Amino acid sequence: MMPRETSMAAVSRSGKLRLWIVVIAFLAYMVAFFDRANVSVLIANQNFTDAFGITANKSAQGLLLTAFLLFYGITCFFAGPVVHRFGTRKALGYGLLSWAIFMAVMGSVSAVAILLACRALLGIGEAVLGPSISKLVQSWFPVRERAKVNGTWFIGLLIAQIVAPPLITGLVTSFGWRASFYFLALIGLIPVVVSFLFVYDSPTKHPRITREELAHISEGRTENGADHGKSAGGFGFLKESNFWLVVVIYAIVNAVSWGMMGWMPTYYKATLGFSFARMGLIAALPYLVGAVSVILFTPLMDRFNSRAPFTVIGCLGFAVCLFAAMGIAHQAPAVVVFCVANIFFMPVIPSLFTILQNTTRSTEIANATGFFNGISYSFASVFPFLMGVLYTSTGNLKNGFYLLVLMTLLAIVMGIPLIRHRL
């Protein structure tokens, strides 16, 4: 791995404007996952579920998560062409603005039907995030920097998951559940400002870009074939077997991630016996160690120019730990095992995005990421609801987590060909 001093010196010599892409990617994913995690925490709060009449209906609670995921997944198929048509700056900026608006509306309603509709609209608004950031990363960074950049925005995502549980439980305890929506609406305006002030669709459009930074960004472009082809918005990636392997793995990883994020707060409270206030702090710990894992392992992916082995090993370690955790009844040991599981699991998503960006033409990356997200999230949308159904019908939330273990084992099998292709 390149020493930090050398790496920072290289950035200084070539220019620093691309660091704004890191900033917007970090902020956008952090805000997105604050918004997504909010309801996951709230369904463990009886005042919230009583307000909407769903306290006894675990399936309805799961449907609040599924509504977002389903509409997010469907809209992702169309988000790529929108990004190509209007550009990443406008698509991302106005998309971010819509998130803040919908969060404010959700804080003011009392009907579950309206809440479900707003969750669906939030999913539609967030669909531009993946294609926009993926296109910006591919446009603004050389091949050898992309895993680190993807790791950085993923850390923003993880910080949201670390901070969200204690923050939201604190807001709910002090000011009521509506305050959590209003607070997240306010902080959601920060990346809107950054996007419109500092983000440009491509380096060549930036008025202050230097020739040195343009040359640095262009390094390695011809090695991975990402810039072949001239017509923007193509769909040639649909013919590539590697694309479909990555999509299947990401679909499974998404299903597992949303199953975990949606029901872990309830598992901590209902199964392990944590109080609501303490649950908020405990739920953050696995994501904290996961963030450290991402910081450590994504530079290694770039150093060895290999991501697939990290994907397979990560899924295997996670499956073993999650299965083991279900057999632990004591609070502290169970939380420790969940933390170890996330050490394995968290670097998997940045590795998958980097494989996608390194194997897809620049003229197709927004569309490819849209399909990548669309298929994955549409598949994943079923799992929070399905886990709620299993919980309601069997009375045991562990059955839903055993389902996630089985799905992760399938991801391992699908990842073996990617290792053979040295991706």
Render 256-319 in DSSP notation, one character per residue: HHHHHHHHHHHIIIIIS---HHHHHHHHHHHHHHHHHHHHHHHHHHHHHT--HHHHHHHHHHHH
DSSP label of 15: -
Distance CA 36, CA 194 (A): 21
Predicted TM-score (pTM) of the model is 0.75
Lowest mean pLDDT of 82-86, 158-162, 346-350, name the range: 158-162
Q: What pLDDT does 386 receive?
A: 86
- Give the domains, in start order, of the chain with CATH numbers: 17-217+234-420 (1.20.1250.20)
On the question of pLDDT at 310 being above 80, the answer is yes
By the 8 A CB rule, do 171 and 183 touch? yes
Q: What pLDDT does 343 receive?
A: 95
- Terminal-residue alpha carbon distance, the chain: 18
Instruction: State whether the Cα torsion 267-271-274-276 is positive or negative.
Output: positive
pLDDT tens per residue, range 273-291 = 888 778 777 878 888 898 8
Distance CA 50, CA 326 (A): 29
**Which residues, in sequence order, are CB contacts of 176 under 8 Å at separation 6+?**
47
pLDDT band per the 50, 70, 90 thresholds, residue 233 = low
360-421-300 Cα angle (round to 5): 80
Mean pLDDT across the chain:
87
